A and B are shown apart, each in its own frame.
Chain A
Amino acid sequence: MLKNDPLKRVLYIDLSSKKFWIEERRDLFEKYIGGTGVASALLEEECPKEIDPQDPKNPIILAVGPSTGLFPIVSKTVSMFLSPHNKLLGESHAGGRSAVALRLAGYGAVIIRGKSNIPVYLVIDSNGVKFRDARALWGLSVSETGRFIREREKGSGLRSILRIGRAGETGVTYSCVVTETYRHFGRLGLGALFGYKKLKAIVIEGGKKALPVTDRKLYKETYDDILTRLRENPSLKKYYELGTAVNIIPLNMLGALPTRNLKETRFEKAENICGEYFAENLLGRRLACAHCPMACIHIAALRTPYEDEPYFYKTTFISYDYEPIYATGSMIGVGSAEGVLRLLDSIDNYGFDVMSTGVVLAWTTEAFEKGLINEEHTLGLEPKFGDVETYLKMLFHLANQSNEFYTALARGVDFTSQKYGGEDFALAFGGNEMSGYHTGYGIHITHLTGSRHSHLDSAGYSYDQKTKLKELDIHKLVEKLFKEEAYRQVLSSAICCFFGRSVFDFETLARMFSLSGFGYEAKDLEKLGQDILIRKYHFKKARNFAPSKLRIPRRIFETISPHGKLDEKVLKTAVKLYEEMIEKRGGGACK
């Protein structure tokens, strides 16, 4: 890497002693690029083996990469930690402005250790860190927190404000961290870890710095080439036109849209919550992450009247995407876009992960139907599929963990179903609630084997939709998913938005890195991707994880997918094959 590149600077922050310092870690960036590569190495250094996620030693690690600030759509920040939700590898990526802000503040990574005695928020700029009293912000919603901090701190346009809501404060294990109102470090509970540490928010102020490149002319040419390819690639159109919500109708037609806790896969009201409906009736604005031409962030303008005064309205701006619509729409039987938006607004303001929350509400509704729980558990509420008002009330109890039942529910469906029954329809894999796809074997192999148990790890749903059942070869599928996940480790080390994956092949990535003085060739990157994936596997294996030991909810074998009724034996064989494959390639030699 280039000598004068600030990427090598790692900012260490200790919340217990309110101290910070900067270390130069060229070694890490030269070896692992940035993002996931560097963060996973730092996690290994920082996170002791035997701790509980609540331990102050559980670190929060943020990392960006060399191409952030240099190239378009390379604007995501990776976070890593021991997950409060599944007690395994916590990894979450967010768009917005944090990556560019961190890069221009002059850091490649941030490590947050310890626990504060009082609620604080941090201001990170090129001079280091300021610790600010956040006692007056504790208990506030995500949007109120953003508003107060926005007015108090400087740097508008170059800054990022990461914050938690009530769910993070009380330690809901699937609470998230919200950034720039509309982007999230979702899944796996980074919000809860902020809460444990009494960390309400982080402001990152980017400076107006220059970033060095090896060859100025070549840099401009490479930039133009990548931008042109991003603009001209027809497969990217869907992200900026209707947005990811475009997938609702095709997945529903395919019979792959989880509906009413995956009792069904077709939702009769899909047309009322689809991307087309949102765009025609509610889309108020489109926004972009910093340094990204896509503008894939779709914001609905929801106009609602106040009941107590005539001709008195408010207009709320709420972002929507495929997964949030699945989670607060079909999965809990809500068939109106306005209902979906009201739930999303509340979920965002408490700071829940939306996918886990949708699955939690779906499980609760079915458990209530089946009599496993009753009004005593729910504090008098009677959840029914489609009942938005009741769900809104439940979100309040969930965020505040109002009684023993809601406290269990705040740990997800895996935990709750072990206590109250209903494991067969508790739709979580590796402790993480399912994504919006019941497309076939591929997606569930991804759910079970992915290092984050996220649909984005190896995107099995995409292979399912391209493969007919009679063409299905489980060996080939497992191999493909492994390769895909290994490739994505390089993407998330760069760290490029996955939406640009069709443009960022290994050759392109190597060209981009070379402009920051990295000497990688495509084949080195391929190898590095596998190494990073295996290191993440080690982290989990050292905490007693094995894919073949995971519980598989029966419901996925009962509800017909586009690949027909899934065979438990086939799925288990596939997971075993994956485990053998990763063990053979280095997973066995646990450090």
Chain B
Amino acid sequence: MATGRLKVLDPDRCVGCQLCMFACQRRTGQAGLAESAIHVRSRGGLSRGLTVIVCRACEDPPCLAVCPTGALIKRKGGGVVLAAKKCIGCGFCREACPLNAIFWNDETQKPVICMHCGYCAEYCPHQVIALEEAA
């Protein structure tokens, strides 16, 4: 598994096209947004600019600390990997993340967490996000 981390370089360059969000879902081969682990929204109306919400690959992830079933495993390079089979969908991880960067799939009732593959960054037209290789 890759050990790089996705980084938000400059949210002020973001134009809100949401190509990253759709790219994240397209990894799965499907369209829409069910499995998208990155979110772009306005800061309270588009005139105020945009904010990009995505896991920043914490070295000591709070989400991992609260998982009662050990479904979140520490990822090399930061962040976590979800072992879906162990996950009971309690949502504690989502509550624990101060960035609100853990998303939710309503159909599977499981969290959606960035795996830092960098696929989204390939589609960003304005260098807002990039995959940084691990040091």
B45 touches A208 (CB 8 A): no
A317/B104 contact (C-beta < 8 A), A72-B19, A213-B31, A286-B15 known = no
Which residues of chain A come closer than 8 Å to B36, judged between CB atoms? 208
Question: Who on chain A is nearest to B51 by CB?
Answer: A157
Give complex CA distance A294, B123 in Å.
13
B17 touches A291 (CB 8 A): yes
Range, interface on chain B: 20 to 34
A227 touches B31 (CB 8 A): no
Chain A residues 155-173 with CB under 8 Å of chain B are: 156-158
Binds B, one of A39-47, A215-223, A303-311: A215-223
B45 touches A181 (CB 8 A): yes
B19 touches A293 (CB 8 A): yes
A287 touches B105 (CB 8 A): no
A211 touches B32 (CB 8 A): yes
Give complex CA distance A220, B47 in Å.
33
Which residues of chain B come closer than 8 Å to A299, judged between CB atoms? 47
Give complex CA distance A208, B22 in Å.
11
B46 touches A180 (CB 8 A): yes
A210 touches B16 (CB 8 A): no
- The answer to whether A587 has its CB under 8 Å from any CB of chain B is no
Which residues of chain B come closer than 8 Å to A217, judged between CB atoms? 29
B17 touches A213 (CB 8 A): no
A295 touches B47 (CB 8 A): no
Which residues of chain A come closer than 8 Å to B125, judged between CB atoms? 231, 293, 295
Which residues of chain A come closer than 8 Å to B42, judged between CB atoms? 156-157
B17 touches A288 (CB 8 A): yes
Question: Who on chain A is nearest to B39 by CB?
Answer: A157
Question: Who on chain B is nearest to A516 by CB?
Answer: B31
Give complex CA distance A149, B97 in Å.
27
- The answer to whether A545 has its CB under 8 Å from any CB of chain B is no
Q: Shortest CB–CB separation between residue B120 and chain A, in angstroms? A: 13
- The answer to whether A70 has its CB under 8 Å from any CB of chain B is yes
A211 touches B31 (CB 8 A): yes
Which residues of chain A come closer than 8 Å to B29, judged between CB atoms? 213, 216-217, 219-220
Chain A residues 249-288 with CB under 8 Å of chain B are: 285-288
- The answer to whether B41 has its CB under 8 Å from any CB of chain A is yes
B30 touches A216 (CB 8 A): yes
A210/B45 contact (C-beta < 8 A), A157-B40, A287-B16 known = no
Which residues of chain A come closer than 8 Å to B44, judged between CB atoms? 150-151
- The answer to whether A182 has its CB under 8 Å from any CB of chain B is yes
Which residues of chain B come closer than 8 Å to A70, judged between CB atoms? 31
Give complex CA distance A290, B35 in Å.
17
- The answer to whether A212 has its CB under 8 Å from any CB of chain B is yes
Give complex CA distance A231, B17 in Å.
14
B31 touches A208 (CB 8 A): no
Q: Shortest CB–CB separation between residue B122 and chain A, in angstroms? A: 10
Which residues of chain A come closer than 8 Å to B35, judged between CB atoms? 210
Give complex CA distance A157, B100 in Å.
13
B30 touches A213 (CB 8 A): yes
A208/B15 contact (C-beta < 8 A), A157-B39, A157-B40 known = no
- Residue-wise, chain A 313-337 has the 8 Å CB interface mask toward B (1 for contact) of 0000100000000000000000000
Question: Who on chain A is nearest to B27 by CB?
Answer: A220
A69/B32 contact (C-beta < 8 A), A156-B41, A227-B123, A287-B15 known = yes
- The answer to whether A566 has its CB under 8 Å from any CB of chain B is no
A209 touches B32 (CB 8 A): yes
Q: Which of A100, A147, A181, A288 has the most CB of B within 10 A?
A: A288
A210 touches B46 (CB 8 A): no
Q: Shortest CB–CB separation between residue B42 and chain A, in angstroms? A: 7
Q: Shortest CB–CB separation between residue A503 and chain B, in angstroms? A: 16
Give complex CA distance A227, B34 in Å.
21
Q: Shortest CB–CB separation between residue A125 and chain B, in angstroms? A: 11
Which residues of chain B come closer than 8 Å to A211, judged between CB atoms? 30-32
B47 touches A317 (CB 8 A): yes
Give complex CA distance A181, B42 in Å.
12
A292/B17 contact (C-beta < 8 A), A208-B106, A213-B29, A213-B31 known = yes
B19 touches A291 (CB 8 A): yes
A219 touches B41 (CB 8 A): no
Which residues of chain A come closer than 8 Å to B28, judged between CB atoms? 210, 216
Chain A residues 105-137 with CB under 8 Å of chain B are: none
Q: Shortest CB–CB separation between residue A240 and chain B, in angstroms? A: 9
Q: Shortest CB–CB separation between residue A510 and chain B, in angstroms? A: 18
- The answer to whether A547 has its CB under 8 Å from any CB of chain B is no
Give complex CA distance A212, B31 in Å.
6
- Residue-wise, chain B 82-115 has the 8 Å CB interface mask toward A (1 for contact) of 0000000000000000000001111100000000
Give complex CA distance A460, B90 in Å.
59
Q: Shortest CB–CB separation between residue A284 and chain B, in angstroms? A: 9
Question: Who on chain A is nearest to B123 by CB?
Answer: A227
Nearest 3 pairs between A and B by C-beta?
Answer: A216-B29, A157-B41, A288-B17
Given contacts A207-B106, A289-B17, A290-B17, could you give 12 more A-B pairs where the C-beta distance is less than 8 Å? A157-B18, A157-B40, A181-B46, A181-B47, A208-B104, A210-B34, A211-B30, A216-B28, A219-B29, A220-B29, A285-B49, A291-B18
**Complex A-B: 28 CB contacts under 8 Å:** A69-B22, A69-B33, A104-B32, A147-B45, A156-B41, A157-B42, A158-B41, A208-B34, A208-B105, A209-B34, A210-B28, A210-B34, A210-B107, A212-B31, A213-B30, A216-B28, A219-B26, A219-B29, A285-B47, A286-B15, A288-B17, A288-B18, A290-B17, A291-B17, A291-B19, A295-B15, A295-B125, A317-B47
Write the residues of chain A forming the contact surface with B, with a CB cutoff of 8 angstroms.
69-70, 72, 100, 104, 146-147, 150-151, 156-158, 180-182, 206-213, 216-217, 219-220, 223, 227, 231, 285-295, 299, 317
Write the residues of chain B forming the contact surface with A, with a CB cutoff of 8 angstroms.
15-19, 22, 25-26, 28-36, 39-42, 44-47, 49, 103-107, 123, 125-126
